[in-house]
Amino acid sequence: MNGGNEPALRILHLHSSFAAGGKELRAARLMNAFGPEIEHSVVSAQPGAHGASVVLDPALSVRFPADFPSLQGRPTPWRLLRIARAMRGFDLILTYNWGAMDAVLAHRLLDASLGLGPLVHHEDGFNEDEAQGLKSGRNAFRRAALARASALVVPSRRLEAIALGPWRQPRARVRLIVNGIDTTAYRHRPPPDAVPGLAKAPGDKWVGTLAGLRPVKNLPRLVRAFAALPERWRLVIIGEGPERAAIAAQAQALGIAHRVHLPGFIADPSRVAGLFDLFALSSDSEQFPISVVEAMAAGIAVASPAVGDVADMVSVDNRAFVTPAGDEAALAASLAALAADDALRAAIGEANRARAQANYDENTMICAYRETYARAMGRDRFP
């Protein structure tokens, strides 16, 4: 605490969404790590999408202002002025993904005249509208909007290359900070009934995933790739979102609805990830998925398309099961090969655990964010 010696820092977070997805949960964990010395205001471009707030420490000072101007709409001069005025009075402005880019442009245009605090932008990847390729108009918009940002934080080498290439950001502005977790929390195997409403029966095997149920995750593809596995295998998709009905419909159409389970969002993946016998992704687009790090920390082999940095994230032995992006048959083959070989899964899982502990530690990530934010504010330390 400040002890009354100086006012608390005020940080404004402008998110494309604050639903319970990977980047949002990471932002919430960082807020917890920074402690109660900071006053946070969190805005979602999707009104009411505040699901990640469930993991916030109740001791923090966090507001969700309902009167902040919408982050969605045409970037007209009047609308940008309203957004810029609403950013006054904050010591640091943190923006996240394309959904907050209008605010980044407003800051670039009106920072000097309104005396706005420094801005750090974060890019974590793309939704389905850019999953198959970048849009030239958005590239140009980003180049213009980011011209006065103090830093651009990316979690993957692919996004780093995009920032330095199509977005034409100077090397000094781009900061690669890979996602980290508390790997020690994943050491112990959870009890069979750790997933609410779903107990793991003796002899059952689980293919698991942790994902927001959004189109870009393409979870119906995972249902199809899983369908040919033996009867003892179950598919457990932990998360929530608008694609729930489509996933359930795909399972029903394939006659495997009794083996596909959607228990909903779970705030602490470390309490359930160890129940998976095999982890799978089916996304059209990822960058540095935290869920893969969580699976690795739990000692689980991973089957995934080669999206983002996944092939480099996993252990060397696991890379044979990272298949070409969009190749559903190859993903199904990886699942089948890993499901058929208990010893292979165990060996790959242990190699993944060691790699996660060595490379994806949460404390390293937190220190990197502290240093980035402190530098943006011209401070020696943060907070």
Q: What is the pLDDT of residues 241-284, one digit of tens each?
A: 999 999 999 999 999 999 999 999 998 999 999 999 999 999 99
Question: Does residue 122 surpass a pLDDT of 60?
Answer: yes
Of 373 and 4, the one with more pLDDT: 373
312: left (phi over 0), alpha (psi -120 to 50) or beta: alpha
Question: Does residue 152 surpass a pLDDT of 60?
Answer: yes
Question: Does residue 24 surpass a pLDDT of 70?
Answer: yes
Length in residues, the chain: 383
Q: What are phi and psi of 323, to 5 degrees?
A: -105, 165
pLDDT above 70 covers what percent of the chain?
98
CA dihedral 364, 273, 231, 249 (to 10 degrees): -90
Question: Does residue 4 surpass a pLDDT of 80?
Answer: no
Exposure string for 296-334, b = 16+ CB within 10 A, e = fewer: bbbbbbbbbbbbbbbeebbbeebeebbbebbeeebbbbb
**Residue 356, number of CB atoms within 10 A of its CB:** 25
Question: Does residue 29 surpass a pLDDT of 70?
Answer: yes
E-assigned strands of 165-232?
Answer: 174-176, 205-210
pLDDT of residue 132: 75
DSSP state, residue 91: S
The residue-averaged pLDDT of 55-76 equals: 96
Measure CA 42 to chain center.
Answer: 17
List pLDDT tens digits, range 280-309. 999 999 999 999 999 999 999 999 999 999
pLDDT of residue 3: 46
**Residue 115, number of CB atoms within 10 A of its CB:** 9
Whether 95 and 27 have beta carbons less than 8 Å apart is answered as no
pLDDT of residue 206: 98
* H-run or E-run covering 51: none
Lowest mean pLDDT among 6-20, 105-119, 244-258, 367-381: 6-20
Q: Is the Cα torsion angle 236, 22, 319, 311 positive or negative in sign? A: positive
The residue-averaged pLDDT of 100-109 equals: 98
Coil, strand, or helix at residue 118? coil
Question: Does residue 2 surpass a pLDDT of 50?
Answer: no
Distance from C-alpha of 341 to C-alpha of 339, rounded to nearest angstrom: 6
pLDDT band at 1 (very low <50, low <70, confident <90, very high): very low
pLDDT band at 20 (very low <50, low <70, confident <90, very high): confident
pTM score, whole prediction: 0.85
Helical spans, DSSP H, in 115-255 = 136-145, 157-164, 219-226, 244-253
The residue-averaged pLDDT of 27-38 equals: 96
Question: Does residue 126 surpass a pLDDT of 80?
Answer: yes
DSSP state, residue 338: H
Q: β-pairing, 174-176 with 92-96?
A: unpaired
Q: Please, which residues bridge with residue 323 across strands?
A: 305
Whether 126 and 99 have beta carbons less than 8 Å apart is answered as no
Whether 221 and 328 have beta carbons less than 8 Å apart is answered as yes
For the chain, the farthest-separated pair of C-alpha atoms sits apart, in whole angstroms, at 66
List pLDDT tens digits, range 204-255. 999 999 999 999 999 999 999 999 999 999 999 999 999 999 999 999 999 9
Amino acid in the structure at residue 193: D
Instruction: Give which of 80, 70, 79, 27 is closest to 48, Cα–Cα.
Output: 70
pLDDT above 90 covers what percent of the chain?
93
pLDDT of residue 242: 94
Distance from C-alpha of 222 to C-alpha of 286, rounded to nearest angstrom: 15
Set out the domains of the chain in order of their start, with CATH numbers: 9-180+362-377 (3.40.50.2000), 183-359 (3.40.50.2000)
Question: Does residue 354 surpass a pLDDT of 90?
Answer: yes
Distance from C-alpha of 383 to C-alpha of 209, rounded to nearest angstrom: 35
Question: Does residue 8 surpass a pLDDT of 60?
Answer: yes
pLDDT of residue 76: 97
* H-run or E-run covering 48: none
